[in-house]
Chains A and B, each alone.
Chain A
Amino acid sequence: MADKKFGAYICKGCGIGERLNIAQLGTVAKREGKMAFVKDHEFLCNQDGVNLIQTDITAGEVTHLMIAGCSKRAKTEAFNFDSVAMSRANLREGVIWVRPNTPDNQETTQEMAEDYVRMACAEVRFMNAPTPSQEQGRTAHILVVGGGVTGMTAALEAAKAGYQVTLVEKSPALGGMAAYLYKRIPNRTPFADPQETGVEELAKQAQSHKRITVHLNAKVTDTSGAPGRFSVTIAKDGSTVTETVGSVIQASGFTPYDATKLPEFAYGKTPDVVDQLGLEKLAKQANGGVIKRPSDGKPVEKVIFIQCAGQRSDKDGHLSYCSGHCCLTSIKQAQYFKAANPNVDTMILYTELRTPGFGGEDFYRSGQEKGVTFTKGVASEVTAGGGKLTVKFKDLILNEDVTDEADLVVLATGMVPVSGVNIEATPEVQATMESVLNLSYRQGKDMPQLVNGFTDSHFICFPYETRRTGIYAAGPVRRPMDMTQAIEDATGATLKAIQALENAALGRAAHPRSGDLSFPRFRKEGCTQCKRCTVECPFGAINEDEKTFPVFNEGRCRRCGTCMGACPVRVISFENYSIDTVGQALKAINVPDELSEKPRILLLACENDTYPALDMVGMNRIEYSAFVRIIPVRCLGSVNTIWITDALNGGYDGIILMGCQKGDNYQCHFVKGSELAHIRMSKIDDTLKQLNLQSERVMTCEIAITDLQRVPQIINEMEATIKRIGLSPFKF
């Protein structure tokens, strides 16, 4: 923008006018902040105040505005102006609400407010109004990979919402694992009896829908592009088709755990030991009649279900997790026997019975009413011989070792996700894995996994999001689940897929900065091709060209700024968030000299959890040090170490970085941002040593949104630390 017109607006409402010297703040904004004009208002967020600003914008008086008043998270609807750059100075939650209203605190409180005005003015001077990327158009077409219940549901939901769907299934028929089931766990009241699966009907609907194209015996051999412009190649019967889709749903499901890994239970040694899918096969053969033993065709009189076979176990080769459906599945299968002959003895051997879902407990009770018995115990061995199976187990209620007999044993083994190539494995191991999506991303062929091979998504906060923007995981590839949950999952993922392609069409970010128009730009001349941005991007948004310069895919970008934080030569920036907007803001403050005994602490706060927590600290009127200056950052991952160096050189006495929880149970909204920041900051010690400063001056911590008491405590402790070790020698 050629001519930037700066204007400052200061709100006097909510007690700001009474607590602070507004005229003085105006002078600061004008003289130091270089604002062309300063206007104050009694109540800036009311219609009159908003009109005041809007009139100036419409008249072309201002293109870059600094609003001093409440937190940037408050009144966002009132201060929502198109095509202008805007910064906010937080005088309410950040100053008057966290400082005591006493005459002896007046001086430091006013200093705090003035610094925030300086910082907001400096920030806006280096901002531009973001303009949307024109990189992708609207492609109202969704690719669904996997033709099981999840995939078919997703396809139908998307088609019913008016989107074209391509459904790719690797086997010759739709239906997936559910097609093998005789009946399903009920999903309707009274949750009493096994229910028809409805899979055939679902497949018929998917196959006959006018907006769904089904490819059977097909595979996705290449996926490239970004939300709104994915290009996918589908191989089928020796030929390939290429389609452009807006977003992708991966519903690649699961395979049953290989029960031959459980030799102690005689699986594979006798046909009378089956896994749950094996029993479904027997039940299908019996088709409502008496279920017979595979070995000799004798009707089963006693069947034992062994729960948690090879799962919820830390033994080598076992699954460590609970697959969630198996208890209910065994209750269902026991009822197959009871329906044909109530005198068959059906015993479920469990350690903890888990019946998740709406009707789970009802179905459990229904099984008990029908005479299915439940024994709390752990099986240790199954042996075959003498026309029967011998099961050894420990009864945990009676505390006895038991040797029991049965005609048939069913092993409740777990679900193993089909998530394709583990991109963190060695190349040799990767080569042995079959990819699902064949992404042509420099980061790897499939989606990143979190634990146990399930695709990375946040269990609570953003379940369908993956680390590949515009590609959504649904069903058991995401976490173990039953059919009811898979259907719900498919519906949720479809909504996200629709949202992603529509957002992409408008150049907007997906979750969690939904609607953000800014995207990273880089100055190629300055780039040293170090590849840190491409490697560290948690979402695989950045590819490399043949000279290893980064190639940004705006549609894939979540706008977290992790690349900006990573860049050692600082060539990556956003229009409204850059090395300069933060760097200049932190340098804009007034640093009192060494003799003043007024330290300055810089707090870089993640705006997802820490900044709201700080706002709540203000709302609860919890006080903290007047010497702290807080700058919100998009993610701790966007923090470039130059800011730390600048701050230390500029005379700050302490620096605190507050981000979300990292690790396997991460809370980071950008998955890896907080973790990367912690790694980068662990190396800041060298910088501190070069400057001859104590390492206590910089700290990084993990904060949850609920840490209202802890955050002020950390700030105050930093003040105490500085008091102890003395002010920084870098005061100019």
Chain B
Amino acid sequence: MSNAYRNNFLREVTANVEEGEWVKMCMQCGVCSGSCPLGPHWEHPPQEIFMMIRAGKREEVLKSNSMWYCTSCYNCIARCPRGLPITHIMHGLAHYAKRLGMVPQNQQTAKFAQKFWDNLTKKGRVNELTLGLSLYFMNGFGEGVKTSLKMQGVGLGMLKTQRMDPLEILGGHGCKDVAGLQAALKKARQIEEAKAVKV
């Protein structure tokens, strides 16, 4: 029997996605989709994502870039009559897709999120200078130079008022026990992966 409209993927989402157990409670009213400020730009608004999960469209959901569009404005959570934590589910789905390596190529939000994570975990603190620069150069050298020149005034202003330390470019300061932090993160990932239901 085909897997369409069977609950396998819904069960997977329930088990593996953060707040995924809420997906089954959606009653398809569409208030979330109507409330989303980015609604017109989504390929699949939240209501549709939830329906696709129930319809067993695993690939389409996890490879979708829809949930990456969520800006965490929380309109949908505030309005959902069933109390679904929709914002969290969107991030949960994005995270799960990332774990499975199913994020669409060149997904900007995903790329920046990765840069942020790498920057943060390297020393236990966000290095704003290198994070900013890596964002400028995320899509190639030419665009990086252009953006840098555009932001020149802001950068100089920050330098002048001592809001930015140019020496941070050399690596900057970190937290006390970087090795300990990284060990803790590694352990956390192991726990999470062990918990995940294999599909």
Contact of A375 among B2, B47, B48, B54 (CB under 8 A): B54
**CB-based nearest B residue for A364:** B27
Does B24 sit at the interface, judged by CB under 8 A?
Answer: yes
Segment 378-427 of A: residues with Cβ below 8 Å from B: 388, 395, 397-398, 402, 404-405
**CB-based nearest A residue for B81:** A361
Residues of B within 8 A of A231 (CB): none
A to B CB contacts below 8 Å, 12 in the list = A302-B1, A345-B5, A353-B27, A368-B25, A371-B10, A373-B5, A373-B54, A374-B54, A376-B51, A397-B47, A398-B48, A398-B52
Q: How far in angstroms is the closest Cβ of chain B from A378?
A: 14
Q: CA separation between A368 and B82, bound complex, in Å?
A: 11
Q: How far in angstroms is the closest Cβ of chain A from B53?
A: 10
Q: Mark B96-136, 1 if CB is under 8 A from A, else 0.
A: 00000000000000000000000000000000000000000
Are the C-beta atoms of A371 and B1 separated by less than 8 Å? Answer: no
Does B78 sit at the interface, judged by CB under 8 A?
Answer: no
Are the C-beta atoms of A376 and B55 separated by less than 8 Å? Answer: no
Residues of A within 8 A of B7 (CB): 345, 371, 373
Interface hub of B4, B28, B82 (most chain A Cβ within 10 A): B28
Does B173 sit at the interface, judged by CB under 8 A?
Answer: no
Does B189 sit at the interface, judged by CB under 8 A?
Answer: no
Q: CA separation between A371 and B10, bound complex, in Å?
A: 9
Q: CA separation between A368 and B48, bound complex, in Å?
A: 17
Residues of A within 8 A of B51 (CB): 375-376, 395, 397-398
Does B6 sit at the interface, judged by CB under 8 A?
Answer: yes
Interface hub of B2, B7, B25, B28 (most chain A Cβ within 10 A): B7
Residues of A within 8 A of B25 (CB): 365, 368-369
Additional A-B contact list (5), CB under 8 Å, known A369-B24, A397-B28, A398-B51: A302-B6, A345-B5, A368-B27, A397-B51, A405-B1
Contact of B5 among A364, A369, A397, A402 (CB under 8 A): A402
Q: How far in angstroms is the closest Cβ of chain B from A238?
A: 55
Pair count A-B, CB < 8 A: 53
Contact of B1 among A347, A388, A402 (CB under 8 A): A388
Does A623 sit at the interface, judged by CB under 8 A?
Answer: no
Segment 1-47 of B: residues with Cβ below 8 Å from A: 1-2, 4-7, 10, 24-25, 27-28, 47
Residues of A within 8 A of B1 (CB): 301-302, 388, 405
Q: Is the interface of B mostly helix, strand, loop or mixed?
A: loop
Residues of B within 8 A of A369 (CB): 24-25
Q: CA separation between A369 and B24, bound complex, in Å?
A: 7
Q: Is the interface of A mostly helix, strand, loop or mixed?
A: strand
Residues of A within 8 A of B10 (CB): 371, 373
Residues of A within 8 A of B47 (CB): 397
Are the C-beta atoms of B48 and A376 separated by less than 8 Å? Answer: no
Q: CA separation between A580 and B5, bound complex, in Å?
A: 75
Tally of chain B residues near chain A (CB < 8 A): 18
**CB-based nearest A residue for B57:** A398
Q: CA separation between A377 and B10, bound complex, in Å?
A: 18
**CB-based nearest B residue for A393:** B5
Nearest first, the 3 closest Cβ-Cβ pairs linking A and B are A397-B51, A405-B1, A404-B5
Q: CA separation between A220 and B54, bound complex, in Å?
A: 53
Segment 643-670 of A: residues with Cβ below 8 Å from B: none
Residues of B within 8 A of A373 (CB): 5, 7, 10, 24, 54
Residues of A within 8 A of B4 (CB): 402, 404-405
Q: CA separation between A364 and B47, bound complex, in Å?
A: 18
Q: Mark A679-706, 1 if CB is under 8 A from B, else 0.
A: 0000000000000000000000000000
Q: CA separation between A373 and B56, bound complex, in Å?
A: 12
Q: CA separation between A371 and B24, bound complex, in Å?
A: 7
Q: How far in angstroms is the closest Cβ of chain A from B189?
A: 29
Q: CA separation between A425 and B5, bound complex, in Å?
A: 47
Are the C-beta atoms of A368 and B24 separated by less than 8 Å? Answer: yes
**CB-based nearest A residue for B30:** A397
Q: CA separation between A375 and B1, bound complex, in Å?
A: 19
Are the C-beta atoms of B2 and A405 separated by less than 8 Å? Answer: yes
Q: How far in angstroms is the closest Cβ of chain A from B32?
A: 12
Q: CA separation between A405 and B2, bound complex, in Å?
A: 7
Contact of A398 among B6, B24, B55 (CB under 8 A): B55
Q: How far in angstroms is the closest Cβ of chain B from A408?
A: 12
Q: How far in angstroms is the closest Cβ of chain B from A171?
A: 39
Q: CA separation between A353 and B1, bound complex, in Å?
A: 27
Are the C-beta atoms of A375 and B24 separated by less than 8 Å? Answer: no
Q: How far in angstroms is the closest Cβ of chain B from A306?
A: 13
Residues of B within 8 A of A347 (CB): 5
Q: How far in angstroms is the closest Cβ of chain B from A335?
A: 14
Are the C-beta atoms of B6 and A374 separated by less than 8 Å? Answer: no
Q: How far in angstroms is the closest Cβ of chain B from A521?
A: 61
Contact of B28 among A365, A374, A404 (CB under 8 A): A374
Interface hub of A364, A375, A398 (most chain B Cβ within 10 A): A398
Residues of A within 8 A of B48 (CB): 397-398
Q: CA separation between A353 and B7, bound complex, in Å?
A: 20
Q: CA separation between A375 and B6, bound complex, in Å?
A: 11
Are the C-beta atoms of B27 and A374 separated by less than 8 Å? Answer: yes
Residues of B within 8 A of A388 (CB): 1
Q: CA separation between A347 and B3, bound complex, in Å?
A: 13
Q: CA separation between A209 and B6, bound complex, in Å?
A: 51
Are the C-beta atoms of B52 and A404 separated by less than 8 Å? Answer: no
**CB-based nearest A residue for B53:** A373
Q: CA separation between A375 and B27, bound complex, in Å?
A: 9
Residues of A within 8 A of B24 (CB): 368-369, 371, 373
Q: Mark A336-348, 1 if CB is under 8 A from B, else 0.
A: 0000000001010
Q: How far in angstroms is the closest Cβ of chain A from B60?
A: 10
**CB-based nearest A residue for B1:** A405
Segment 35-86 of B: residues with Cβ below 8 Å from A: 47-48, 51-52, 54-55, 82
Interface hub of B5, B25, B52 (most chain A Cβ within 10 A): B5
**CB-based nearest B residue for A301:** B1
Q: How far in angstroms is the closest Cβ of chain A from B11?
A: 8
Q: How far in angstroms is the closest Cβ of chain A from B144?
A: 40
Residues of B within 8 A of A397 (CB): 28, 47-48, 51
Q: CA separation between A48 and B110, bound complex, in Å?
A: 89
Q: CA separation between A404 and B5, bound complex, in Å?
A: 7
**CB-based nearest B residue for A370:** B24
Residues of A within 8 A of B6 (CB): 302, 345
Q: How far in angstroms is the closest Cβ of chain B from A504?
A: 50
Q: CA separation between A373 and B55, bound complex, in Å?
A: 10
**CB-based nearest B residue for A404:** B5
Q: CA separation between A639 and B6, bound complex, in Å?
A: 66
Residues of B within 8 A of A398 (CB): 48, 51-52, 55
Q: CA separation between A360 and B27, bound complex, in Å?
A: 14
Q: How far in angstroms is the closest Cβ of chain B from A304?
A: 8
Q: CA separation between A341 and B54, bound complex, in Å?
A: 19
Q: CA separation between A376 and B30, bound complex, in Å?
A: 12
Q: CA separation between A402 and B6, bound complex, in Å?
A: 13
Segment 31-65 of A: residues with Cβ below 8 Å from B: none
**CB-based nearest A residue for B47:** A397
Q: How far in angstroms is the closest Cβ of chain B from A330?
A: 15
Residues of B within 8 A of A301 (CB): 1
Q: How far in angstroms is the closest Cβ of chain A from B58?
A: 14
Q: CA separation between A373 and B25, bound complex, in Å?
A: 9
Q: CA separation between A398 and B48, bound complex, in Å?
A: 7
**CB-based nearest A residue for B7:** A345
Q: How far in angstroms is the closest Cβ of chain A from B127?
A: 44
Residues of B within 8 A of A365 (CB): 25, 82
Q: How far in angstroms is the closest Cβ of chain B from A91?
A: 55
Q: CA separation between A364 and B27, bound complex, in Å?
A: 9
**CB-based nearest B residue for A376:** B28
Q: How far in angstroms is the closest Cβ of chain A from B148?
A: 44
Residues of B within 8 A of A345 (CB): 5-7
Q: How far in angstroms is the closest Cβ of chain A from B27?
A: 7
**CB-based nearest A residue for B50:** A397
Q: How far in angstroms is the closest Cβ of chain B from A592?
A: 65
Q: How far in angstroms is the closest Cβ of chain B from A337?
A: 12
Q: How far in angstroms is the closest Cβ of chain B from A86?
A: 57
Q: How far in angstroms is the closest Cβ of chain B from A391?
A: 9
Residues of B within 8 A of A368 (CB): 24-25, 27
